[in-house]
């Protein structure tokens, strides 16, 4: 998640000269374990190196049609409009939403033996309790970022950011579910709480922070942290890791009041026509060296512990990518909420930004 909001425009990259496959009129192969000549893959923008895609193509002689989308909402809209993917990537709460809508196929884990590489804390999560429909791809958190070279006041939790030292000095992600969820956690609620009283309290809490925020940025908040425009903020762990790699004074703080732990996941839609090849693709990406190559490129946390020997040491020691054990165990994960509650989250967020 993570970048739950990716660049504003989706792009489509065709790695094959043909657009056959799930989006065509061709029927599925009669042999369930026949590798198809094409595979339609969907993912968030700038979230999978093309070199890895080419390695799969060359190994299995499969042409990949690679499409990107800017957000989970856009992925859902595309699927509901009839665009077909053999395999795609969706975030935690969206996986649960798609399960409820009957849009996802159960995975055949006999075709994904590398699932064994996924560490136990990253299986059977709240949005897919029995790991039936999804496989974790990358994960992360949304902690506080602090430039300890510039900040000379204690920062132990979100309320620390109300200190006058941070007036007009914070960069925060532009994400209603994330920030309203943090306001809920500050007040002792779960970040998925949809109770009206809890949400009203969250809105009042957010209002206290408005004068502190200088920049809303989901795409590259590391820029403001590095150029000095912001000395602290609330950002995706991958963005914090990128900032830390260039300036180790920029460190994460994981508030005891609660930390949002997010997961992006492989899914296979029910409309998929090349399921075996899709599962082969997932299994390929879960192989230790390929998974490490992915993390080395993307700089997010990898749930695949078998990849650790091949991951750059600088990433294995980066505090943004290796949070304390209690965060892994107790970090709160977004789940699906009713549409009416989602509208309330958005209203609170719009009022907050415009105030």
pTM value is 0.87
Give percent of the chain above pLDDT 70.
91
Residue range(s) defining the domain that contains residue 219: 143-258+331-354
CA distance 179 to 4: 12
Would you say 255 and 335 are in contact if contact means Cβ atoms under 8 Å apart?
no
The answer to the question of residue 158 being in a domain is yes
The two tokens of residue 89 are: 């990537």
Q: Identify whether residues 218 and 308 lie together within a single domain.
A: no
Q: In sequence order, what DSSP letters do the residues of 332-344 get, joined into one string?
A: B------HHHHHH
**pLDDT, average across residues 220-229:** 96
* Residue-level pLDDT at 1: 56
**pLDDT, average across residues 143-167:** 96
User: How many other C-beta atoms can be found within 10 angstroms of the C-beta atom of residue 66?
Assistant: 18
Is residue 133 annotated as involved in ligand binding?
Answer: no
The two tokens of residue 38 are: 């094409």
Q: Identify whether residues 49 and 136 lie together within a single domain.
A: yes
The answer to the question of residue 279 being in a domain is yes
The answer to the question of residue 338 being in a domain is yes
Give residue-wise pLDDT tens across range 236-292. Answer: 999 999 999 999 999 999 999 889 999 999 999 999 999 999 999 999 999 999 999
The answer to the question of residue 323 being in a domain is no
The answer to the question of residue 326 being in a domain is no
Q: Identify whether residues 160 and 229 lie together within a single domain.
A: yes
Q: How far is CA 35 from CA 30, 114, 272, 273, in A?
A: 11, 18, 14, 11
The answer to the question of residue 1 being in a domain is no
pLDDT at 111 over 70: yes
Q: Identify whether residues 196 and 289 lie together within a single domain.
A: no
**12 or 96, greater pLDDT:** 96
What's the number of domains the chain is made of? 2
Q: Identify whether residues 202 and 304 lie together within a single domain.
A: no
DSSP 29: P
CA distance 327 to 36: 41
Q: Identify whether residues 232 and 287 lie together within a single domain.
A: no
The residues, any chain, with a CB within 8 Å of residue 347's CB and separated by 6 or more, are: none
CA distance 179 to 269: 30
Q: Identify whether residues 238 and 156 lie together within a single domain.
A: yes
Q: Identify whether residues 155 and 243 lie together within a single domain.
A: yes
At residue 160, φ and ψ (nearest 5 deg) are -60, -25
Q: Identify whether residues 206 and 339 lie together within a single domain.
A: yes
Q: Identify whether residues 250 and 345 lie together within a single domain.
A: yes
pLDDT at 53 over 70: yes
Q: Identify whether residues 135 and 153 lie together within a single domain.
A: no
The answer to the question of residue 324 being in a domain is no
CATH number of the structural domain spanning residue 213: 3.40.190.10
Q: pLDDT grade, residue 340 (50/70/90)? A: very high
Give residue-wise pLDDT tens across range 90-101. Answer: 999 999 999 999
Q: Identify whether residues 267 and 250 lie together within a single domain.
A: no
* Residue-level pLDDT at 31: 56
* Residue-level pLDDT at 13: 39
Would you say 65 and 16 are in contact if contact means Cβ atoms under 8 Å apart?
yes
The answer to the question of residue 276 being in a domain is yes
pLDDT at 175 over 60: yes
* Residue-level pLDDT at 219: 85
CA distance 355 to 350: 9
């Amino acid at each position: 998640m993570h970048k739950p909001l990716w660049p504003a425009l989706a792009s489509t990259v065709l790695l094959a000269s043909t657009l056959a496959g799930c989006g065509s009129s061709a029927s599925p192969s009669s042999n369930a374990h026949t590798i198809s000549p094409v595979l339609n893959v969907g993912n968030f923008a700038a979230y999978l190196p093309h070199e890895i895609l080419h390695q799969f193509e060359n190994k299995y002689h499969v042409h990949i049609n690679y499409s990107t989308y800017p957000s989970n909402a856009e992925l859902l809209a595309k699927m509901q409009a009839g665009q077909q993917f053999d395999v795609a990537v969706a975030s935690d709460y969206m996986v649960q939403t798609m399960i409820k809508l009957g849009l996802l196929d159960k995975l055949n884990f006999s075709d994904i033996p590398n699932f064994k590489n996924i560490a136990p804390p990253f299986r059977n999560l709240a949005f897919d309790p029995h790991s039936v429909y999804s496989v974790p791809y990358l994960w992360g958190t949304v902690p506080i970022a602090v430039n300890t070279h510039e900040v000379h006041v204690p920062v132990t939790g979100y309320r620390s950011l109300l200190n006058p030292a941070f007036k007009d000095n914070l960069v925060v992600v532009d994400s209603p579910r994330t920030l309203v969820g943090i306001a809920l956690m500050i007040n002792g609620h779960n970040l998925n709480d949809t109770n009206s009283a809890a949400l009203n309290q969250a809105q009042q809490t957010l209002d206290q922070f408005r004068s502190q925020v200088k920049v809303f940025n989901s795409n590259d908040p590391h820029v403001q942290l590095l150029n000095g425009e912001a000395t602290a903020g609330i950002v995706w762990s991958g963005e914090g890791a990128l900032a830390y790699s260039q300036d180790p004074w920029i460190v994460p703080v994981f508030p005891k009041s609660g930390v949002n732990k997010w997961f992006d996941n492989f899914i296979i839609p029910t409309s998929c026509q090349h399921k075996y090849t899709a599962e082969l693709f997932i299994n390929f990406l879960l192989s230790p060296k390929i998974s490490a190559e992915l993390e080395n490129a993307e700089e997010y946390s990898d749930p695949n512990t078998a990849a650790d020997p091949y991951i750059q040491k600088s990433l294995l020691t980066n505090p943004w990518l290796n949070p304390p054990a209690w965060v892994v165990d107790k970090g709160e994960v977004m789940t699906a909420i009713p549409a009416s509650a989602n509208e309330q989250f958005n209203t609170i967020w719009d009022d907050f930004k415009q105030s």
